[in-house]
Amino acid sequence: VRARVMQVEHSPDVTYEDIGGLDAQLQEVRETVEMPLERPDMFREVGIDPPSGVLLYGPPGTGKTMLAKAVANQTDATFIKMAGSELVHKFIGEGAKLVRDLFEVARENEPAVLFIDEIDAIASKRTDSKTSGDAEVQRTMMQLLSEMDGFDERGEIRIIAATNRFDMLDSAILRPGRFDRLIEVPKPDVEGRELIFKIHTRNMNVSDDVDFAELAELSEDASGADIKAVCTEAGMFAIRDDRTEIYMEDLIGAWEKVQAESDEDSDVSR
């Protein structure tokens, strides 16, 4: 079961340079996650505990997972990821056991960055403990909170959680000593989009006619993940056309395609 729901990567290959347009967020993650891992002595000498848990919230595909991976890379830590949705819909007691396993794996692999994606799946305030499925979800969350309350904050495990549904979160997990550092990770602004286009075309054979500033203007409302999809799709356009060089028109066409697809998606999901 462990192998299926937990993703363990030693020093993942994402670096800070791979992240576009999240300077303030990166700065905060470095202070709250990187510093305590790299300089636990500083915190000890100053006599304060670093924040226990950091919560990243914002729309899908904006770089939350990347931030967590990059800080694990920077600190040579093990990156351990589990999605909240994997912890639910399980047999009675299994969610809580998985949470225990998760912390055990983290302790065995210190220093570690523990990343819990979709935390709302186990920490949603809508949960109604009268139904048995919800009671199981509650137990899973209680286990998470008790693991967090129980561990030494100066230890070499840092916890980062992420959600797209901040509004749904149970305030119990936001209390001091838990996920008490909230970092919003929004969609990129126009400058961020330009940087992200440049990052994702770094290894592509792009023609001189490609105007990144114009692409950034065009792609309003795109997330980082959308921009990555646009770059890949533009490469596909070139291949279909039997070319190895990517033109501006490929990127524009790809943006139109990705945008049309994401409009379809949002029609069904919202």
Q: Which residues are annotated as a binding site for ATP?
A: 61-66, 200
Nearest distance from C-beta of residue 180 to ligand ATP, angstroms? 21
- What's the residue count for the chain? 270
# residues contacting ligand ATP (CB under 6 A): 20
- From residue 167, alpha-carbon distances to 122, 125, 161, 267, 268 in Å are 14, 9, 15, 21, 21
**H or E, element range at 115:** strand 112-117
The torsion defined by the Cα of 121, 125, 129 and 131, in degrees rounded to 10, comes to -60
Q: Which of positions 19-48 make contact with ligand ATP (CB under 6 A)?
A: 19-22
Judged by DSSP in three states, 169 sits in strand
Name which of 95, 173, 164, 81 is nearest 134 in CA terms: 95
Residue in the shown chain whose Cβ atom is closest to ligand ATP = 224
Contact pick of 7, 164, 207, 262 for ligand ATP (by CB under 6 A):
164
Binding residue (CB under 6 A) for ligand ATP from 26, 33, 54, 66: 66
Encoded one letter per residue, x for contact with ligand ATP by CB under 6 A and - for no contact, window 102-141 reads ---------------x------------------------
Site for ligand ATP contains 61 (CB under 6 A): yes
Vertex 183 angle, CA 155 and 219, to 5°: 135
Provide the binding-site residues for ligand ATP, judged by CB under 6 A: 19-22, 60-66, 117, 162, 164, 188, 196, 199, 224-225, 228
